[in-house]
Amino acid sequence: MSAALIALLVSVGAGGFGSLVGIGGGLIIVPLLSVGLGYDVKTAIAASLIGVIATSLSASPRYIRTGLADRRLALLLLVAAALGGLAGGLTAGYLDGRALSLLFALLLTGVALRMLWQIRHPVTPLPVDDDATGSGFGFASTFVEPTTGENVAYQARRIVPGTAVSFVAGNISGLLGVGGGVINVPTMNVLMHVPIRVATTTSTYMLAATAAASATVYVVSGRVDPMLAAPVALGVIVGARIGARLSMRLSQNVLRLAFVAVAAVFAVSMFAQYLSA
């Protein structure tokens, strides 16, 4: 089987899973291309970035049309994360990557345990303030839960801490080598009390914008191999469409469990990074 065909087939799975849980799929694509198929890590990361954008672009139209992706909240967090990314270039030299890896691993472990606890003890929806509207900065919204047809109202809480976390996440993500999704989803769900359904779809929507900025740099500096990006992107486009459809049939608890698995993998990876540094 040729490398392109392997990349295409695995990318179908990466796009499908990525669009389900709100991560880009780089967690699967980068190791496959670098360790599995022997590509240079930077070339693998560049192809993966194209794949992450394609995952987001492929799944987001469905999430936007069905009102599941909260674009207003996404834009607020994107501004913070992008500003954090800008500041990251200035602060990177002062941060201890090893200590951050340990801190991030511990945080992710806490997030995973908290999400597991939520399955047995679901969070009671917080009441929406009377003056909260769709305009301004109330960040209240509604969505129809696809598995039950129930109309669910929610209001994002702790806007300032949530925005601050996004800023810090944007700041340190480059240093830790983690993408946005693994931070976006718990920030929205655990910290801001946004339903997991909305957190995962909104995160998927956000990924295209954040990855596009990095991908532009890779394209202009000639580090994208279009012949490798083609099978990866084509695979995730197909996979993400399947994932977005499948997502509508899965309960919020299943989505939560899937994300817990992702958080656990990232936590182990961060512990390994801490120990090997």
Partner 1 sequence: MSARPSITKPELKQAPGGHTSAVLSGGVAVAAIAFGVALLSEVAGTDAGSGEMTDLAAVLEGLLVLSPWAWSSVGVYAVVLTPVAGLVVTAWEFASVGDRHTVVLALAVIGVLMVSALISLLR
Write down the least CB distance from residue 141 to partner 1, Å: 5
Closer to partner 1 by CB, 239 or 270: give it: 239
Tell me the HSE value of 151 on the side-chain side, using a 13 A CA sphere.
2
- C-alpha span between 274 and 145 (Å, rounded): 40
Report the nearest approach of partner 1 to the CB of residue 228 (Å): 9
- Give min distance, CB of 91 to partner 1, in A: 14
Query: β-strands 140-144, 151-155: how paired?
Result: antiparallel
Of 7 and 270, CB closest to partner 1: 7
Residue nearer to partner 1 on the CB measure, 109 or 145: 145
Determine the length of the chain. Answer: 277
Backbone angles phi, psi at 111, to 5 degrees: -60, -45
User: Quick one: how many helices (H) and strands (E) in the chain?
Assistant: 10, 2
State the nearest-atom distance from the C-beta of 31 to partner 1, in Å.
21
Judged by beta carbon, residue 186 or residue 235, the one nearer partner 1 is 235
Token pair of 39, please?
């590509």
CA 151 to CA 78: how far, in whole Å? 27
Is the CB of 13 or the CB of 85 nearer to partner 1?
85
Per DSSP, the three-state class of 193 is coil
CA distance 264 to 277: 20
Name which of 151 and 276 has its Cβ closer to partner 1: 151
The rounded distance, in Å, linking the Cα atoms of 85 and 254 is 32
- Shortest Cβ 8–partner 1 spacing (Å): 8
- Cβ at position 234, least distance to partner 1 in Å: 4
